[in-house]
Amino acid sequence: MKLLEYQGKELFTEHDIAVPKSYLARNQSELNQIADKLQFPVVLKSQLTVGGRGKAGAILKCMKLEDLAPKFTELLNKEVKGELPKVILIEEAVNIDKELYLSLFLNRGKRSYSIISSAQGGMDIESVENKVIQDISITGLTQSDAENIAKKLNLDGVTAKSFSNIVIKLAKLVREKEAELAEINPLAILKDGTCLALDSKIIIDDNSLFRHPELRKYVQISELQEQAEKSGFSFVELDGNIAIIGNGAGLVMSTLDIVTDAGGKPGAFLDFGGGATTETIYKALEVISKLSKIKAILVNLFGGIVRTDLVAQAILNAYQDGMITVPIYARISGAESEKSKKMLSNSNAKLYDTVEEAISSLVQYKELSK
């Protein structure tokens, strides 16, 4: 779960990591309530999960009260990579001397946490130069470890102390909240030498949420996503118009690639997990039926282990209930496949023995390119 900037900053505040003074506004009336408290200049920041807000113009500086409302409205209506904000963060601008980069992340290969820091902040981590990367123990990080990192960045005096305190606090946050990533970019050094977190990017381990009731308020998933998850499915909405359903994340991903290679545009990824029963397939189709952009459905079930007639029955039911009208191309090999083909012979669904065959006829479907 990726937190929004203001949510991450709430966690920073809880862990005593300094952030700029700020307010949240969802709409004009909330904005009116805070307007006269603001010390200008302020920075308006669209609260989005996608990256690249700065470049997309979703962060605006505002020098005076008169400009506040128009800029606020502009941001509320600005879509970035298909995402509209629900809330705008309004922060008082600060005098910055220098910007640093700091992140703590789960280093999968090493099965430990690593810290990345750099005396150059404000950029994409891949373009950050002079990185200091080292493995740390988030349970046993000492003051002197943190001070060493500050030394490597050539920080001294008040700044070195403030920075190493933040490293310790960030490690504590990562440990307590079970984060996979906690990034502060940029971490500002103010005129007085102390450090202040100007941005936050925190990703929480979804699998640990069951023991973090305090983080549940941050869970933000679409209704459709929620419905899918309740059924135990993994569901990701994509940009195109072909829904891809299968039993296994890897298999569905692989199908996505083959469809894309063949010129198709996937619009949904749905992995319904292990058991391919009439009920699970029907439920998966039900989720897909709520996406009006979908013009065709590709079902890819791992061969050999599926009772294909159970799948055929689900497809038949979905058509008969009027839930699905678009054509279904299904790769189902396994027991009872002749019977299944017969069951679906009068429907809008076709069965294929290989995924390649299913996809090559799918991409010829004319409605897809309209």
Peptide bond connecting 186 to the previous residue in cis, omega within 30 degrees of 0: yes
> Distance between CA 186 and CA 38 in Å, rounded?
23
Q: Applying CB under 8 A, does 124 fall inside the site for other proteins?
A: yes
> Distance between CA 269 and CA 278 in Å, rounded?
19
Q: Applying CB under 8 A, does 218 fall inside the site for other proteins?
A: no
Cα-based torsion angle of the residue sequence 65, 71, 75, 77 in order, rounded to the nearest 10 degrees:
120
Interacting positions 79-118 with other proteins (CB under 8 A): 106, 108-109, 111-112
> Distance between CA 193 and CA 160 in Å, rounded?
9
* 365 labelled catalytic: no
Among 29, 77, 210, 325, binds other proteins (CB under 8 A): 210
Q: Applying CB under 8 A, does 134 fall inside the site for other proteins?
A: no
The letter for the amino acid at 223 is: E
Give the range of 30-38, 60-68, 261-269, 338-346 binding other proteins by CB under 8 A.
Answer: 261-269
**Distances from the Cα of 73 to the Cαs of 39, 46, 87, 89, 119, in angstroms?**
19, 11, 11, 13, 35
Among 5, 91, 147, 180, binds other proteins (CB under 8 A): 180
Name which of 227 and 254 has its Cβ closer to other proteins. 254
* 101 labelled catalytic: yes
DSSP E strands: which ranges in 255-325?
266-271, 296-307
Q: Applying CB under 8 A, does 269 fall inside the site for other proteins?
A: yes
Instruction: List CB contacts of 161: < 8 A, sequence separation 6 or more.
Output: 150
Among 87, 93, 94, 253, binds other proteins (CB under 8 A): 253
Give the range of 37-45, 87-95, 213-221, 266-274 binding other proteins by CB under 8 A.
Answer: 266-274
User: Which residues bind to other proteins, rule: CB under 8 A?
Assistant: 2, 49-51, 106, 108-109, 111-112, 124-126, 178, 180-181, 205-208, 210-211, 234, 236, 238-239, 246-254, 256-261, 266, 269, 271, 274, 302-305, 354-356
